[in-house]
Amino acid sequence: MSRIFNFSAGPAMLPEAVLQQAKEEMLDWCGSGMSVMEMSHRGKAFMSIAEQAEADLRALMEVPDNYKVLFLQGGASSQFAMVPMNLTRDKRKVDYINTGSWSKKAIAEARRYVDVNLAATTEGSRFTTTPGQSDLRLSGDAAYVHYTPNETIQGVEFPYTPETGTVPLVADFSSSILSRPVDVSKYGIIYAGAQKNIGPAGLTLVIVREDLIGHAIEGAPVMFQYATHSESGSMYNTPPTYAWYLAGLVFKWLQDKGGLGEMAAINQRKAQALYDAVDISDFYANPVDPAGRSLMNIPFTLADPALDNQFLQEAEEAGLKTLKGHRSVGGMRASIYNAMPEAGVNALIDFMAEFERING
């Protein structure tokens, strides 16, 4: 059976080269006589895997020395609670920017612990825009400012990094991490679920500035304190070892591809080609303000929604799968993360043109 082009928002495609290497090493990793998933997380073999993965990620993202890199569990959703638990012992007010479904979830969780100032919201535009810097109503004395650089469901991406002065900036990078270079030094915390651009589901990446560690609120569970994981090298309990290993293979693959600068150029080409195909057509439409369009998640609608199911069925038959939009917004959505080759995007564009020719 030939592999299809999987446009899922997550779990998403993994690079074929990574899957091939994992296949070759499945039963015997580097002459160890065992699979990575069978290794003790404290043994020398896995420790070497973990250390190399962190080193490669630090190199890819140019992570400064005063940041810790944590490989955790719980998904980005666990960070919705861990961030306020770890950053608000001395200040009980925080700023949040609301630009979509994942921002809303982060805000709802934070309100369980602290007072949330809504610094900006684009809900009035049905989350089809991003607020400009001048639109942000920041408190100035908040414990941190939180935003979601890329909203996976709405397909909206910030075209800039918010300026927050001395207040730490916290970002949920789940659907855009590793898609382009990022100046880590502008952030207090970057976190991301792995299942889009990092690796398989089950791993959560947290990059946290060292001065923000060790200030958890009273009563915070041990497993929800950054200090716990920082002090133990992310091995306070058994980590998701196989997901960590696969993430390391992805980091190597990204290096072999030329790094994040090269990935940014590829991602720009992929997204621009698909947006162009939508924009030149009266049959398809994208609801997002062009200034805030995502490079990773591209929603689009058909002029006649009655054709949606036919489009999806015929796309699947053509090997283009998981294009159905999120149930909250409908339509279609093509997630074109790093592992989606340009050939996959071109195949989708060709299919869309032919479908329009027949049904338009």
On whether the CB atoms of residues 135 and 121 are closer than 8 A, the answer is no
Does a structural domain hold residue 232? yes
Q: CA geometry: angle at 223 spanning 50 and 80, to 5°?
A: 95
- pLDDT number for residue 218: 93
Does a structural domain hold residue 23? no
Does a structural domain hold residue 20? no
103 and 207 part of one domain: yes
- Which of 6, 15, 3 is CA-nearest to residue 197? 15
153 and 63 part of one domain: yes
The secondary element (H helix, E strand) that includes residue 98 is: strand 93-98
Active-site annotation holds for 102: yes
Q: What is the pTM of this model?
A: 0.96
Q: Which of 230, 256, 282 is the last residue of a domain?
A: 256
> In which band, very low, low, confident or very high, does the pLDDT at 64 lie, cut at 50, 70 and 90?
very high
Mean pLDDT of 320-335: 92
On whether the CB atoms of residues 88 and 110 are closer than 8 A, the answer is no
> In which band, very low, low, confident or very high, does the pLDDT at 328 lie, cut at 50, 70 and 90?
confident
Catalytic-labelled residue, pool 29, 102, 244, 253: 102
Residue 57's φ and ψ, nearest 5 degrees, are -65, -45
Q: Which domain holds residue 113?
A: 28-256
On whether the CB atoms of residues 29 and 42 are closer than 8 A, the answer is no
- Which of 226, 156, 219 is CA-nearest to residue 189? 226
Mean pLDDT of 29-37: 96
Burial of 309 (0-12, 13-18, 19+ CB in 10 A): exposed
Does a structural domain hold residue 66? yes
92 and 137 part of one domain: yes
263 and 212 part of one domain: no
Residue 330 has pLDDT above 60, yes or no: yes
pLDDT one-digit tens code per residue, 335-360:
999 999 999 999 999 999 999 999 98
What CATH number has the domain bearing residue 267? 3.90.1150.10
What CATH number has the domain bearing residue 178? 3.40.640.10
C-alpha distances (whole Å) from 7 to each of 133, 174, 283 are 32, 16, 20
Does a structural domain hold residue 349? yes
On whether the CB atoms of residues 252 and 49 are closer than 8 A, the answer is no
154 and 302 part of one domain: no
Which residues, including other chains, have CB under 8 Å from residue 104's CB and lie 6 or more apart?
98
Question: What amino acid is encoded at 70 in this protein?
Answer: L
- pLDDT number for residue 268: 98
Catalytic-labelled residue, pool 56, 68, 95, 196: 196
Mean pLDDT of 26-35: 96
Which residues, including other chains, have CB under 8 Å from residue 48's CB and lie 6 or more apart?
none
Active-site annotation holds for 91: no
pLDDT one-digit tens code per residue, 120-155:
999 999 999 999 999 999 999 999 999 999 999 999
Residue 69 has pLDDT above 60, yes or no: yes
Total domains present in the chain? 2
9 and 64 part of one domain: no
Active-site annotation holds for 172: yes
352 and 240 part of one domain: no
Mean pLDDT of 36-41: 96
CA distance from start to end of the chain: 32
Does a structural domain hold residue 125? yes
Mean pLDDT of 92-111: 96
DSSP class of 138? -
Residue 1 has pLDDT above 70, yes or no: no
- pLDDT number for residue 293: 97
Which residues, including other chains, have CB under 8 Å from residue 31's CB and lie 6 or more apart?
none
303 and 215 part of one domain: no
Residue 297 has pLDDT above 70, yes or no: yes
pLDDT one-digit tens code per residue, 237-270:
999 999 999 999 999 999 999 999 999 999 999 9
303 and 333 part of one domain: yes
CA atoms 45, 48, 50, 56: torsion sign: negative
296 and 227 part of one domain: no
151 and 233 part of one domain: yes
Q: Which of 256, 275, 310 is the last residue of a domain?
A: 256
Residue 40 has pLDDT above 80, yes or no: yes
On whether the CB atoms of residues 79 and 279 are closer than 8 A, the answer is no
Mean pLDDT score across all residues of the chain? 96
Q: Which of 201, 233, 256 is the last residue of a domain?
A: 256
pLDDT one-digit tens code per residue, 264-274:
999 999 999 99
Alpha helices (H) in 156-259, listed in sequence order: 226-231, 241-256
Catalytic-labelled residue, pool 95, 172, 244, 324: 172
**pLDDT above 90 covers what percent of the chain?**
96
Does a structural domain hold residue 21? no
267 and 252 part of one domain: no
Does a structural domain hold residue 10? yes
Tell me how far apart the alpha carbons of residues 91 and 86 are, in angstroms, rounded to a whole number: 11
Residue 118 has pLDDT above 80, yes or no: yes
